[in-house]
Amino acid sequence: MDGMINPGTEDFLGTPLSDVTIPEAGVANLSRRGLFGVGAGALLLGVMVKARPARAQGEGLAAAAPRPGTQVAAFLEFHPDGKVRLLSPFVEGGQGIATAMAQIVGEELDVDPAQFIVDCAPPGADYLVVNGRRLTGGSLSVRSSYATMRQLGATARNLIVRAAAARLDVPEAELTTEPGKVVHKASSRTVPYAELVEAALKLQPSEVAALRDPATFRWIGKPVPRIDIRDKSTGRAQYAIDLQVENMLQGAVTHAPRLGQEPGALANEAEVRAMPGVHSVHKLPGAVAVLADRWWRARKAVEALQVTWADAPNPNALPADFSSAGMLATLRAEKGAGAPAEENGDLAAAFAGAAKTIEAEYDAPYIAHAQLEPPSAAARFNVDGTLDLWVPNQAPEMFQATAARMAGLEPGKVKVHSPILGGFFGRHFLYEAAAPYPQAIALAKAVNRPVKVLWTREEEFLRDGYRPMGFVRFKGAVGADGMPVALQAAAIGEGPIGRYFTQSQPVDSSMVEGIAGKPYAIAAKRVDCVKVKQPTIISFWRSVGHSMNDFFYESFLDELATAGGKDPFEMRLAMLGDKPRQATLLREVAALSGGWKRGPFEVDGIRRARGVAMASPFGSEVATIAEVSITGGEIRVHDLWIAIDPGRAVNPAIIEAQVQSAAAIGLSSSLLEEITYDAGVPQQRNYDTYPILPLARMPRIHVKVVESGAALGGVGEPGVPGVPPAVANAVAALTGQRIRSLPLSKARLGSS
């Protein structure tokens, strides 16, 4: 077992689909637009030799997966005006994946990314490009599909050039391409791609179409502008909340206060039915609903309902005495050894010979996704026996399969439409009772009309799947030279990977990522996973276990530096002697900040200090420095400097934007965010009781993208984990007070 390191979320999600058992009620996601018809004037580069549209919605996960990158028909449409429509395997949620896909495919196809229209593809075997599965999450989209999407563009270009050679009666070798057209320089003739599509359809695609030399890239690796910015800035972008379907009823719901309760008597049902615009009143599992001609009328009516809620047999019901404080006490009381996720060296001997030993416990609360767009879904049963489902999601095939079971249909009869997301971060997977699409399906079936269900913010907070509570117990030691010689950690609780995917395995990778496998040289170390089930609905959250585990580990590492009389930056650098990638990044972030200085020091008469932290999430490496002060007992973060090494950059501007947004959510969660339970009910129901980082507290964020040439890493999540510990370490440097419990706002801090 020596040297064993349990993989993190990104490694698990990167495993082939055949190696994973996904439970029926497990985590999943979905995709968007239904069966795609050819728009007016569009030329569909499709059907190849055989007609293939049915592969998309009709076959679902049961379809045999084709060789990725050769099924041009499933991905691309060419329009006479030079526009190219790309059906992307991934859903756009603000992370810039539509632009990245346009860059990658456009580079090999020779089409300017600005000419692309990118939509999320329907469910289908062609789109299972994430190691044989499909999801938008785990910061996997670009790195899992980069080679596939390059090959797709190259294959399409090869088909078009071959069609042009036949049309112009010249050898293929005499032809080149310029954006959107084939060029025969010897005769000064050019042919637009759209004019060659019909002939290209008759050709057998090459599975080994030549790829471009990266040295000639024009768009990959460049800060190409986002292709969706104009539509989002002008209100043309359509989210699920904007959806309108002919003859549609609007639905509003009120959920039981405590998960597991069911509606009983409705004392004033007749009065509510008589309210303006009300169509009908319904009882649903764990909720009541009102359908009306307008959503506001439905909301006012459902809020007027006088409902008696009763406990009912439900294995997932929250106990009436459940509380956050009680859950934390349970985790603290657990002293079991668990299962080792990482083990190196002789721990007992290292502690016995150490100069100083310290111990500490860290915890983090439940937190919500708090996305800008509240959840909604729309369902329509059609006369042909099919179901159209418009639903925000991150994994279309999984949603299709689940919706089919709910509707009593074959998966091929369910057409899933995946709109762009108004925030997600793991929110739009399949969590029990945490999304409105089952309600939309049930209501549409009951009234035989299209139904759209939109949750209020209060219902969203009540039924969100939260990031699980975290708790870690540390013991560490330093030698006579002040350097760490031993580290022991026990992560106690439950994570989403263990709950939804690997129940039978002793180690839940999402519980230990950010603790096991850290790059620092420590001769003896052991990290244990101690599973303790949490009764709440838990979920994936931006950067998953890293979001709190790196706070735990990097904070305790600073405690070891203090115990050994070491500067925390210099100690980290020394511990990375055989890790040049991480050591380089640490030096880069120091240079970005103008040179490392811990402090305290004064700026304009205000005492400040800095903290540093590192993280290795999702195949990327990140180093973070935070500068803070304390005013009126409140932590003020002035600057965050973040250096990220994603291996290689497809779009450095998007990377910078993603790191900035990740830093914002990392800071918000570390300073302010917390969900507390009392009597089985979450106490925070809107932003008035669940504050998120206000603009006035947003620091300056400085980002440097460092390309080491390593394998492509993730981008959307790695900016989160380093922020909480960097801020906490800065606070400790400034005040001498070590905060071990999130959010940091719970601590009482004096002005400095």
How is residue 643 written in tokens? 């250096």
Residue type, 341: A
Dist. CA 118–CA 36, nearest whole Å: 13
Write the pLDDT tens digit of every residue in 487-528. Answer: 999 999 999 999 999 999 999 999 999 999 999 999 999 999
Is residue 672, in this structure, part of any structural domain at all? Answer: yes
500 within some domain: yes
First to last CA, the chain: 48
Q: Partners of 291 in the beta sheet? A: 251, 280
Which amino acid appears at position 121 of this protein? A
Among candidates 187, 158, 86, which has minimal Cα distance to 129? 86
CA dihedral over 234, 88, 430, 662, signed as positive or negative: negative
What burial class does residue 652 get, using C-beta atoms within 10 Å of its C-beta: 0-12 exposed, 13-18 middle, 19+ buried? middle
Confirm whether 687 is domain-assigned: yes
**Which contiguous run of DSSP H or E holds residue 468?**
none
- Confirm whether 616 is domain-assigned: yes
Burial of 352 (0-12, 13-18, 19+ CB in 10 A): exposed
Tell me the longest C-alpha to C-alpha distance in the chain.
84
- The reply to whether 598 falls in a domain is yes
> Do residues 725 and 611 lie in contact, with contact meaning Cβ atoms separated by under 8 Å?
yes
Rounded distance between C-alpha atoms, residue 476 and residue 347, angstroms:
10
Whether 512 contacts 527, CB under 8 Å: yes
Distance, CA of 584 to CA of 597 (rounded, Å)? 18
What CATH number does residue 498 fall under? 3.30.365.10
Dig out the tokens for 492 from the structure: 């106690």
Structure tokens, 284: 């649903």
**Total of domains in the chain:** 1
* C-alpha radius of gyration, the chain, whole number: 27
635: in domain: yes
* Contact (Cβ atoms closer than 8 angstroms) between residue 137 and residue 29: yes
**Secondary structure element (H or E) that encloses residue 193, with its range:** none
- What percent of the chain lies above the pLDDT cut of 70? 90
**Structural domain harbouring 643:** 326-365+467-746
Contact 559, 740 (CB under 8 A): no
Placement of tokens 């990220």 in the chain: 644
Count CB neighbours of 198 within 10 A.
11
| The pLDDT value given to residue 18 | 33
Using 70 as the pLDDT threshold, list the residues of the chain that sit under it: 1-70, 751-752
Q: Which residue has the tokens 């002060």?
A: 629
pLDDT at 40: 27
In this prediction, residue 745 carries a pLDDT of 96
Query: Which stretch of DSSP H or E encloses residue 562?
Result: helix 546-563
Quick check: is 226 in a domain? no
Determine, yes or no, domain membership for 685.
yes
Res 585: pLDDT: 98
pLDDT at site 281: 98
> Residue 178, SS3?
strand
